[in-house]
Amino acid sequence: MENETLLKEVRAKAQLWLDGNYDEATKADVSRMLAAGDSTELIESFYRDLEFGTGGLRGIMGAGTNRMNIYTVGAATQGLSNYLKASFPDLPQISVVIGHDCRNNSRKFAEISAAIFSANGIKVYLFEDLRPTPEISFAIRHFGCQSGIILTASHNPKEYNGYKAYWNDGAQLVAPHDVNVITEVTNITDVNQIRFEGNPDLIEIIGEEVDKIYIDAVKTISLSPEAIERHKDMKIVYTPIHGTGVMMVPRALKAYGFTNIIDVPEQYVVSGEFPTVYSPNPEEPAALDMAIQRAKATDAELVMATDPDSDRMGIAVKNDKGEWILVNGNQTALLFVYYLIRRWKETGKITGNEYVVKTIVTTEIIKELAEKNGVECFDCFTGFKWIASVMRENEGIKTYIGGGEESYGFLPETFVRDKDGVSSCTLMAEIAAWAKDNGMSVYQLLQQIYLEYGYGKEKGISVVRKGKSGAEEIAQIMTDFRTNPPKELAGSAIRIIKDYKTLKMTNVVTGEVSELDMPATSNVLQYFTEDGTKISVRPSGTEPKIKFYIEVRGEMKTRADFDAAEAAADTKIEAARASLKV
């Protein structure tokens, strides 16, 4: 009976699209779904409205209320336009920046958004071609705009596209603007409310002039130019995985002084089909396979990859046996923070008023490293908008050194307010040159950090559950963990439980319950055990999956202990995984 009711509802919603002011191609697609014997596609396309969440839109492309198309993008842009006009009523000219990545329909969605903004009297700076997400954030600040958007689904599979919205500081929306924009978007209930007829006089095409200023800004974060000069011919393999990084990363590396950048020709081809990879995500080992093969063939020293919108960066390095290994997001963030703090100290920039930021699911070693060096470490929710929020709150009060998250995102500067794969690539190349200047490889530098600040290992596990039934299953998993929390993990008793949905921290040993000081609630659970293991559980905000983050600690007294520490950590991680039944 429930399925019959749902099917009746989605058929009624689909009929509104057939009867409404929609283009003929869209209507033909809806008609096809209505006529199909299998109603699965129809239900998935219309069972809900694609939610404009706090990070914007993200979904599979196609016709329907639950799909990325010109109408869902149009409603988002009209709603954002309405909110901007209400927020800046006395401003003579409201302005926005629009960028897009390499995905199918991204340029189309960007141009339609430009038309809608301009139809609402808003000045648009539209990039001439694909550009990295961090450059859009930079351009918002550069032009003094009130907002900006980029059409991207980040590292999602090719079927997806997305729409990320930014405020006037170049950061993604947080309270109160996130909720207020969502309200305005929700108020767009009729396609006729969307003003599609643009005003070309309010649309300015931008490109090289912004590229140059952005690259010049990226160059200012360099801390070891002498090391780069001595090792400028170091062989570096870089792949944009078909995405926007191809526009800026090789150029930025050359601006830094690196002269031996080796491409992966097949992956320098810009394509929303991502023809050489199953998933264009540097977190996925397979995404770096071609780059590693290129590195082996050229005897390179470092492999770097960025995702399609070039905000995330992943790396591979050689171990002491000459084998190529992948460095995970926690380790990458650890390398960045260690290098930045050390070089800031060595150059006399540490005054005691500096800070770094990490997300709650990122390795605790970063906090220990920072605090031992007199640098404050802020914890925030997952998502770079929260790191940017900490930066906003501390602007003019404390000095930002860097911030990052385990999902391969880092920001080593302040002129961008989102994770920046371009500046991260240049800084990682500099770290490799500096390590070489100090007689170490990047692999050995990572071991040195563990010797100084303690060993740890992390593993992320994603359980994918697609569609309506999947969303319900994920919700039930979180309910079950709250109702029946584990007593132990990998044989170690749970000591602390943090529930960020209720903002309560429970000491399991004493029974004491205290408040968590966070700016909002979030559907995240964390468990801390007696032996230092940390487990975090959260549904993804952008993908149909629930994520488990496992961090275990171990002992390492010399570099020779590294392999044994790794093996022991792997055993403990698998035991924790068994405890969680994932």
What does the mean pLDDT of the chain come to? 95
* DSSP H or E stretch at residue 315: strand 313-318
Nearest to 538 by CA among 473, 477, 453: 477
Q: Are strands 302-306 and 236-239 parallel, antiparallel or unpaired?
A: parallel
CB 448 within 8 A of CB 441: no
Identify any residues that bridge with 461 across adjacent strands, giving them in sequence order: 548
DSSP states along 43-83: HHHHSSPPP-BTTBEEEEBSSSTTSBSHHHHHHHHHHHHHH
Mean pLDDT value across residues 18-22: 95
- Nearest alpha-carbon partner for 69 in 77, 254, 168, 388: 77
**pLDDT, tens digit, 9 for 90 and up, residues 315-372:** 999 999 999 999 999 999 999 999 999 999 999 999 999 999 999 999 999 999 999 9
pLDDT of residue 69: 97
Helix (H, G, I), strand (E, B) or coil at 497: strand
Please state, in angstroms and rounded to a whole number, the distance separating the CA atoms of residues 46 and 33: 10
pLDDT, one tens digit per residue, over 429-451 is 999 999 999 999 999 999 999 99
The DSSP output letter for 26 is H
| Cis peptide bond N-terminal to 176, omega within 30 | yes
Percent of the chain with pLDDT over 70: 99
Alpha helices by DSSP H, listed for 438-532, are 442-453, 467-483
Mean pLDDT of 305-314: 97
Name the 3-class secondary structure at 349.
coil
> What pLDDT was estimated at residue 471?
87
* pLDDT exceeds 90 at position 409: yes
In contact, 387 and 403? CB cutoff 8 Å: yes
Question: Where does the pLDDT of residue 581 fall: very low under 50, low under 70, confident under 90, or very high at 90 and above?
Answer: confident
Give 449-461 pLDDT, tens digit per residue. Answer: 999 999 999 998 9
| CA–CA dist 577, 582 (Å, integer) | 6
Q: How far apart are CA 341 and CA 36, in angstroms?
A: 60
Handedness of CA 116, 117, 123, 126 (dihedral sign): negative
Q: In the structure, what pLDDT confidence band is assigned to residue 467 with cuts at 50, 70 and 90? A: confident
State the catalytic residue, choosing from 147, 154, 224, 310: 154
Q: Whole-angstrom Cα distance, residue 105 to residue 434?
A: 42
pLDDT at 85: 98
Instruction: Provide the total of helices (H) and of strands (E) in the chain, helices listed first.
Output: 18, 23
- Rounded to 5 degrees, φ, ψ at 79 are -65, -45
* 154 given a catalytic annotation: yes
Q: Which SS3 state, helix, strand or coil, does residue 376 take?
A: strand
Residue 1's pLDDT is: 41
pLDDT tens digits, 516-557: 999 999 999 999 999 999 999 999 876 789 999 999 999 999
Q: Is the dihedral of CA 293, 296, 298, 300 positive or negative?
A: positive
323 DSSP assignment: -
Q: What is the pLDDT of residues 356-398, one digit of tens each?
A: 999 999 999 999 999 999 999 999 998 899 999 999 999 999 9
> How big is the chain by its Cα radius of gyration, in Å?
24
**367 vs 532: CA distance, rounded Å:** 14
- Find out whether 83 and 177 touch, Cβ atoms under 8 Å: yes
568 Cβ contact partners less than 8 Å away, ≥ 6 residues apart: 554
